[in-house]
Structure 1
């Protein structure tokens, strides 16, 4: 008997449009012989099952069910394709856990932790994972520009602490540019992170549970046409994403080892894609994405393809792992 799969997409952040694209790709590639997939839009204005005619059917939040064509639909598993809140920060996963509905992401605590950049960095520092020098600010804190620049130097990066897809991020080259960058970041989040610039090769590494073991996918080198790997570079073709990365075998070994260590230290499961800068051959951790882009053009699917894993097999594995953990 086919299993009903809810593919949740959308969300409450600036990443809604990107999430809808990812969710629709999952919907397209799920094996119809094994699964009956349903698109579930999680939006600020409500939660809805959306059919092929784009008709909306409201989700009953008491048990995460939907009345569709006069039949009550319940779900055997939820495929999480929400970038940002409430999918990537763990909120909706805690709700699903209360209802005992399996989902394809890590446990809600791990999702919440890794969505918080500063908390993730704080933990990884205890395990001697290299990262940039950083300063943390909360909205309302007094801003001491000279002290910040003295610590992180110029250029530096200003980032929202809880946001993705490079929304709200600025690369700051001058003292005068720091306040506007901080104001921009605060539009996305009340907590921000200011980091030193790391000169080196940027790489992106997919790590996931696949067929009951943790695997590191082929590494992608990021070459941005812009000043950094911003929204345009990620989603509008302003970058080269080269898989496998043009790095030495020793650098590849180091990046793979540290990526697997980070995944395991953070007690992750499901998908992850982490970014590193190689500085003099040493990988420096930037951040982890636990609901990475899942379109055909996205980095993690590119890496899976390089490893000989089709999207159908990749998504099937995520669902099988989730259901087996809860059986």
Structure 2
């Protein structure tokens, strides 16, 4: 008998389109001999839709989910990756793929992630948490990166090299969140590390990926095809080990499950954590699946491992 898997995409946030692409890719790649895929989509308006994109509401979606064996949430960003869908599954008693409520919420909150990382000895960029109430007191003194605390796909992220660029950068970040981070610019190579918790509980870390781009790795660079992804990243044994240890360290400290992509700046002093994505881009050509492919794990095999590792 085939396993019935609900694949949820979309979402009521700025990463909607990216999530739709990820979910469609996951649904298409799950082996039809093993899995019966039931697609569900959350619209930009928050409305749930069925396979034919007909509105069915949350109550209709709950009926669909109750008829499934496993839920595979592929919703990036707020009201999805932040633990919201994990909470729905847990309340309904449904096995689901990926991190639970607490790690999803912690990792989505970049400020909380920094505090957790620092507590286990992982370096992060010096920075400050800024709200609308405190933003008026902020003064530019050196190059910084401004970003929303809880958004993804590099949306609302700006590099600020001159004083007059600070106010527009704050406005862009506040358009997506009421809490933002202002972090020192870190000089280093951008290196991503994927971590997978296998169905048997062990961790698997494939070769790292280096991002080479001209300037900040923003939304346009990420999805416009202008970034150069180098897999495996050219790393010596010391740096590779340090990155792996830091990635698994923060993965465990947050309590992650399934797959996560942990993004670093590799500096002369070692890895500096940028952020943790508990539901990274999941098309076959996204960064995390490409890293696993470099280790010999095919995209369908990665998805199969994730479904088999589903938990309540």
CA distance in 1, matches of 2:9, 2:138: 39
Please state if 1:113 is matched with 2:106. yes
1:117 Cα offset (Å): 0.3
- What residue is the counterpart of 1:14 in the other structure? 14
Please state if 1:216 is matched with 2:205. yes
Are the aligned partners of 1:208 and 1:215 in contact in 2 as well (CA < 8 Å)? yes
1:143 Cα offset (Å): 2.2
1:281 Cα offset (Å): 4.7
- What residue is the counterpart of 1:46 in the other structure? 47
Q: In structure 2, the residue corresponding to 1:124 is in which secondary structure?
A: helix
- What residue is the counterpart of 2:70 in the other structure? 77
CA distance in 2, matches of 1:33, 1:285: 40
- What residue is the counterpart of 1:177 in the other structure? 165
Residues 160-309 of structure 1 mapped to structure 2, 5 A cutoff = 160-212=148-200, 213-225=202-214, 227-309=215-297
Q: In structure 2, the residue corresponding to 1:202 is in which secondary structure?
A: strand
1:144 Cα offset (Å): 2.1
Are the aligned partners of 2:47 and 2:58 in contact in 1 as well (CA < 8 Å)? no
**Between structures 1 and 2, the one with greater strand share:** 1
Q: In structure 2, the residue corresponding to 1:31 is in which secondary structure?
A: coil
Number of equivalent positions: 310
Q: In structure 2, the residue corresponding to 1:276 is in which secondary structure?
A: strand
Picking from 47, 55, 58, the partner of 2:56 is 58
> 1:316 and 1:12, CA in 2 relative to 1: closer, same or farther beyond 3 A?
same
CA distance in 2, matches of 1:305, 1:191: 36
1:140 Cα offset (Å): 2.9
Further displaced range: 216-225 or 181-190: 216-225
> 1:142 and 1:235, CA in 2 relative to 1: closer, same or farther beyond 3 A?
closer
CA distance in 1, matches of 2:118, 2:19: 31
1:211 Cα offset (Å): 4.0
Hey, which bits of structure 1, 4+ residues long, moved more than 6 A? none
- What residue is the counterpart of 1:24 in the other structure? 24
1:308 Cα offset (Å): 0.7
Q: Which has the larger radius of gyration?
A: 1
Structure 1 stretches lacking a partner, 5+ long: 67-71
> 1:42 and 1:12, CA in 2 relative to 1: closer, same or farther beyond 3 A?
same
Are the aligned partners of 1:63 and 1:99 in contact in 2 as well (CA < 8 Å)? no
Q: In structure 2, the residue corresponding to 1:309 is in which secondary structure?
A: coil
Structure 2 stretches lacking a partner, 5+ long: none
Q: In structure 1, the residue corresponding to 2:102 is in which secondary structure?
A: helix
TM-score w.r.t. the length of structure 1 is 0.91
- What residue is the counterpart of 2:122 in the other structure? 129
* Structure 1 vs Structure 2 CA RMSD: 1.6
Are the aligned partners of 1:203 and 1:277 in contact in 2 as well (CA < 8 Å)? yes
Are the aligned partners of 1:49 and 1:59 in contact in 2 as well (CA < 8 Å)? no
